[in-house]
Amino acid sequence: MFNINKLVDIERKALETTYCDTVTVTRNEEITEGNITKNKKIEVLKDEPCALSITNNISPKVEDTNGTTELKGNYVLFISKKINKGDKLFITRENGENIIAVAGKPSFHTTHYEISLLIQERA
């Protein structure tokens, strides 16, 4: 008998073997303490395997924002777990480089998510 779930699981595991980077994800959640509701940053994923890829081989561009030079590029993160739009990502590349990014809207595929990222680095 044909088991589609088993095939999807095999494909997901095959994709995960290509994930050489890791990501830690934080998100702001509303926490109510007594009569006070406030936002608290919580860690939702820790050192999760992923793959960071630059889209369309576009080089990052340099922008001057309020007197500060920033390098901005368009990137995509491939991961098996769901990440929400607006989550803050701390990515460690295979070569040890650390990148901080903000997640865009995730695109769901049967075996993984693709998330567009905004990466801003000070030049």
- Does residue 114 form part of some domain? yes
Q: Is the dihedral of CA 28, 104, 65, 123 positive or negative?
A: positive
Total count of domains within the chain: 1
pLDDT-derived band of residue 121, with 50, 70 and 90 as boundaries? Answer: low
Q: Measuring CA to CA, which residue among 48, 47, 94, 103 is closest to residue 76?
A: 103
pLDDT in tens, 19-59: 999 999 999 998 888 888 889 899 999 999 999 997 655 55
Per the structure block, which two tokens stand in for 107? Answer: 């695109």
The predicted structure's pLDDT at residue 15: 87
Please give the average per-residue pLDDT across 65-85, as a whole number: 77
- Does residue 5 form part of some domain? no
- Does residue 89 form part of some domain? yes
Q: pTM of the prediction?
A: 0.78
- Does residue 50 form part of some domain? yes
- Does residue 98 form part of some domain? yes
- Does residue 110 form part of some domain? yes
Instruction: Look up the domain containing 71 and give its range.
Output: 22-29+39-55+62-122
- Does residue 68 form part of some domain? yes
Contact predicate 105/116, CB 8 Å: yes
- Does residue 2 form part of some domain? no
